């Protein structure tokens, strides 16, 4: 055997021996720690006085037992018991035959036991107070920043002096700005109930610039009067300080409310853009008023629902699969409608309108027969759930934020298709002058079918987006078809930039009119505005250029 081989064998044996020795050293230490934790927890069984239990609660909270928060929470909720036979600490939950018990030490399911064979670890109000503070501190010491932030917000909603010590300890080591800001608000909420005027004034000043809704409610309550006309807050200086801070907070909140309305308007505009851009292409190229366009959206939404049924364990990825699937399903149905019905009715717009309206009724009834007339709920992926909380007065929901981004991406891809591809060149040629395009060898019938399929496919994608905002039902498309036509007419038939501008402006206008006029009256006002506007500019904001268009 070579010397190098011997050396390698020696090194491998040395490493193996080192690992064995290390394991032998670590295992007893872990065993000792586990044994110490078990002894500490079992002392709850023998402890009788309030002071002893209070000391044990603090020792458990400061121990390295992984489930210490769960144990203390069970003790607070009255779910911590011990078995009379072997005095084993267990979690116990009501069962028809007694209690379902689980070992506290190792989490083993011990089955069902009679109610007389276990005894509860009793606590009193003083210990409950201690437990609330200890559990709050444990949450504030969590390594997960979201757990700490949630705990801090819970303290804001239920301020109590018993939490003040835990809050101050947490503030001393907290590094996250949002958590620290919430802890400062929680401290101020507690100090606001102090008998010392200085602490109360400092607490009110701490609210300045926070825009916390709970703080605003408390400051507003200080301005109220009782039945006899006396202020509930009797300290004039405190009340005047609260009024000044409240006025400033309300001013900032109104500004952020304006931003929020713009955001909701843009999200509505993004939905209108997705629903109208396909209609704009179809109407611009073919001159067809497609009353079945809403049903293409409905098919896209139901495709999303079916995809989630096929992928129940992959909801977070189902929407990624649903987007191309909805495009294909709606696009293929659109091509079938164009080849089977619409191509026989070119040049007869009224008959085309009636025919597509009949197709829409057929599609609605088909969906009712297949899926039932009841609405279906589509689950939102985890990355679309929740909201981006900027401050107490402004939070942007992720689903609407992603829809805005998604609609812009779809629009840019469509612009690229029309401007940079040969198919897009043919579509633009047919849009501007159908007769000339036909004489140049462009197969206008093929372009019509492809255009109708493209417009229907984009409507299917819009249905995917709508499934994340509302329930999926047979009448889903009917809620948006009129708005889609208004967007197309207002922006200019066949003009994508005009469609984008019209969708966003109408969406924002609707959201600003709704608080004053209501949802229905707001739409009526928008419709009257568009009618008057078309009288002034019959071709919309951005009219297409071309001989056939001008004719």
Q: For the segment 99-136, what is each residue's pLDDT rounded down to a tens digit?
A: 888 888 878 888 888 888 888 888 888 888 788 778 87
* 218, 192 Cβ separation under 8 angstroms: yes
For tokens 């083993």, what's the residue?
A: 108
pLDDT tens digit string along 202-214?
888 888 877 777 7
Q: Which of 79, 171, 164 lies closest to 121 in space, CA to CA?
A: 79
Residue 65, token pair as written in the block: 């037992």
pLDDT tens digits, one per residue of 185-234: 888 888 888 888 888 888 888 888 777 777 888 888 888 877 777 777 77
**pLDDT tens-place string over residues 422-437:** 887 887 777 777 778 7
Buried b (16+ CB within 10 A) or exposed e, 118-147: beebebeeebeebbbbbbbbbbbbeeeeee
Q: Of 430, 422, 409, which Cα lies nearest the Cα of 544?
A: 430
* Helix (H) or strand (E) segment spanning residue 3: helix 3-46
* Per-residue pLDDT band at 333 (split at 50, 70, 90): very high
User: Could you report the per-residue pLDDT of 29-42, keeping only the tens digit for each?
Assistant: 344 445 666 777 77
How many CB atoms sit inside 10 A of residue 314's CB? 13
Pairing state between β 109-113 and 394-397: unpaired
Alpha helices by DSSP H, 62-176: 68-77, 125-140, 145-157, 164-173
């Amino acid at each position: 055997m070579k010397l190098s081989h011997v050396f390698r064998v020696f090194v491998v044996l040395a490493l193996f021996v080192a690992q064995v020795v290390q394991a032998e050293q670590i295992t007893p230490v872990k065993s000792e720690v586990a044994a110490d934790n078990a002894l500490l927890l079992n002392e709850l069984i023998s402890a009788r006085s309030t002071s002893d239990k209070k000391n044990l609660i603090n020792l458990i909270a400061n121990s390295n037992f992984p489930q210490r928060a769960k144990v203390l929470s069970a003790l607070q909720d009255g779910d911590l018991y011990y078995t009379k036979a072997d005095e084993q600490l267990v979690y116990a939950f009501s069962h028809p035959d007694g209690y379902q018990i689980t070992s506290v030490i190792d989490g083993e399911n011990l089955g069902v036991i009679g109610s007389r064979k276990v005894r509860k670890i009793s606590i009193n109000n003083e210990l409950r107070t201690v437990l609330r503070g200890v559990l709050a501190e444990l949450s504030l010491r969590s390594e997960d920043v979201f757990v700490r932030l949630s705990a801090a917000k819970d303290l804001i909603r239920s301020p109590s002096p018993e939490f003040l010590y835990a809050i101050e300890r947490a503030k001393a080591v907290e590094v996250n700005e949002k958590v620290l800001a919430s802890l400062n608000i929680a401290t101020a909420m507690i100090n606001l109930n102090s008998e010392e005027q200085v602490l109360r004034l400092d607490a009110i000043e701490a609210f300045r610039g926070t825009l916390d809704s709970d703080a605003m409610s408390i400051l507003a309550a200080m301005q109220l009067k009782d039945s006899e006309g006396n202020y509930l807050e009797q300290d004039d200086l405190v009340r005047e300080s609260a009024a000044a801070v409240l006025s400033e907070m309300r001013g900032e909140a109104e500004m952020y409310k304006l931003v929020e309305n713009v955001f909701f308007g843009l999200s509505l505009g993004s939905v209108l853009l997705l629903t109208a851009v396909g209609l704009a292409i179809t109407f611009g190229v073919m001159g067809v008023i497609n009353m079945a366009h809403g049903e293409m959206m409905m098919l896209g939404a139901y495709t999303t629902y079916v995809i989630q049924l096929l992928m129940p364990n992959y909801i977070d990825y189902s929407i990624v699969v649903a987007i191309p699937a909805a495009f294909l399903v709606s696009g293929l149905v659109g091509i079938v409608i164009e080849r089977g019905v619409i191509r026989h009715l070119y040049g007869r717009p009224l008959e085309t309108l009636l025919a597509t309206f009949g197709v829409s009724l057929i599609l609605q009834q088909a969906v009712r027969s297949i899926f039932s007339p009841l609405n279906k709920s589509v689950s939102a992926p985890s990355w679309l759930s929740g909201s981006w909380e900027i401050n107490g007065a402004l939070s942007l929901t992720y689903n609407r934020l992603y829809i805005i981004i998604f609609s812009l991406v779809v629009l840019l891809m469509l612009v690229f298709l029309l401007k940079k591809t040969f198919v897009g060149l043919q579509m633009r040629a047919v849009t501007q002058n159908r007769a000339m395009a036909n004489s140049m060898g462009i197969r206008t019938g093929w372009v019509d079918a492809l255009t109708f399929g493209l417009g229907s496919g984009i409507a299917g994608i819009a249905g995917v987006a709508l499934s994340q905002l509302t329930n999926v039902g047979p009448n889903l498309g009917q809620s948006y078809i009129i708005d889609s036509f208004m967007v197309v007419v207002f922006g200019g038939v066949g003009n994508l930039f005009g469609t984008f501008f019209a969708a966003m402006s109408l969406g924002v206008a609707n959201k600003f009119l709704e608080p004053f006029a209501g949802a229905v009256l707001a739409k009526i006002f928008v419709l009257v505005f568009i009618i008057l506007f078309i009288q002034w500019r019959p071709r919309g904001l951005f009219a297409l250029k071309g001989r056939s268009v001008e004719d």
